[in-house]
Structure 1
Amino acid sequence: MQIGLLGSGVVAQTLGRGWARHGHQIHLGTSDPARPELRAWSEETGQTVTGFADAARAGRAGGPGSAGQDRRPCSWRATRTPRRR
């Protein structure tokens, strides 16, 4: 499955690394794909770091039993939920 992650922080990198280990193709979306730490993550995982729009377009998921024919957009916004006080 192709997964587009919108965000490039610790949460997104951890999710992307885990899903990549299970054979998924990850597109990490960020405002600055050239950042050295993101290039290192890409080299380490073999996954793609790109802009937000490209990551959102790249994310695809097939429905159960669809064998990839009914592919719907699948993107995750990888951010922490703010604490309520």
Structure 2
Amino acid sequence: MSTETHQYQLRITSSELTIKPYFGYMPKVKIFGLLSVLIFCIVPFSDYLNYPISDTFNNGKKSQAREAEYIEYVLNPIYKFINTQ
């Protein structure tokens, strides 16, 4: 068996290291799209926070099934993991 050694030269230019400001090179349409995606991501999970946004759309009734599902699949494994350490 012959072992071959390969040498690679890594060259990083200074233009690759500079971090360009994110919103400076984005058109306004993409900013609104980003905001709408963030809103649609936050609203479904807001029931698990202190202020449930979906209550305003649900006649003020808290979705208890979703809360029970969250406790069963998210919080219980975390508590079990902490208690076994």
The interval holding the TM-score normalised by the smaller chain is under 0.3
As a proportion of its length, which structure holds more helix?
2
TM-score, reference length from structure 2? 0.19
Looking at CA atoms only, which structure, 1 or 2, has the larger radius of gyration?
A: 2
The higher-RCO structure (CA 8 Å, 6+ apart) is 1
As a proportion of its length, which structure holds more strand?
1
TM-score, reference length from structure 1? 0.19
